[in-house]
Amino acid sequence: MTLQDIFKSSFLEKISSVSILDMALALVLAFGIGMFIFLVYKKTFAGVMYSSSFGVSLVAMTMITTLVILAVTSNVVLSLGMVGALSIVRFRAAIKEPLDIAFLFWAIGAGIVLAAGLIPLAVFGSVTIGAVLLVFANTKPHMNPYILVLHCRDHESEMQAVGFIQGQVKRCVVKSKTVQAGSVELNLEVRMKDSSTDIVNILSEMNGVNDAVLVSYNGDYMG
């Protein structure tokens, strides 16, 4: 055994397993694709409260996934250890919007494909996915859904108000009804014929209607 064998390090031998050029190119492309995903997320966000930290995490997740896959593809033994290490990781952050899950998988998938060396697939796939999301996000529904809350004095004023509403909107469905002494509360799902909301002004002036509230509702509907 020579002096060189004594100071021989298997760790230092792995330094050249991935070239500096490959690492730099992969991380720069991962950053670019991650920024594209972040911009698409910002343009298509339709939730209640926008979180800039989630958008930044998409960029970081793309780069981190690329980094991990580069290490895994350079060593088969390391890949097995990486699987075991990542299997104990648990994420506790709640996903509030269903579309956020798609962006998370998009960032992870882009990082995996990019680190595998399939650069055209990563770029073309990301551009295609981004275009599809932008088209669907900017498509406005033909009939905007609203929740109309009515407080009426009695049954007669309730029937009069509901009859008027049914003649002014395309769809009117009773979601809930609360009856108390001298008060009737109605929650109605309505779909307007156009963008005008003058129906609320007319309802509030009707005899027996105490107040009327119209709320835009961004939910999932059938039919």
Tens digit of each residue's pLDDT (9 = 90 or more) over 111-149: 888 888 888 888 899 999 989 988 887 665 545 688 888
Sheet of strand 209-216, all strands in order from the earlier edge strand to the far edge: 169-180, 183-192, 145-152, 209-216
> 64: burial class by Cβ within 10 Å (0-12, 13-18, 19+)?
middle
Tens digit of each residue's pLDDT (9 = 90 or more) over 52-107: 788 888 898 888 888 888 877 766 555 555 655 555 556 566 666 778 888 888 88
Confidence (pTM):
0.60
Which of 146, 161, 170 lies closest to 204, judged by CA? 161
Domains of the chain: residue spans and CATH = 14-137 (no CATH), 145-216 (3.30.70.260)
Which of 135, 13, 117 lies closest to 70, judged by CA? 117
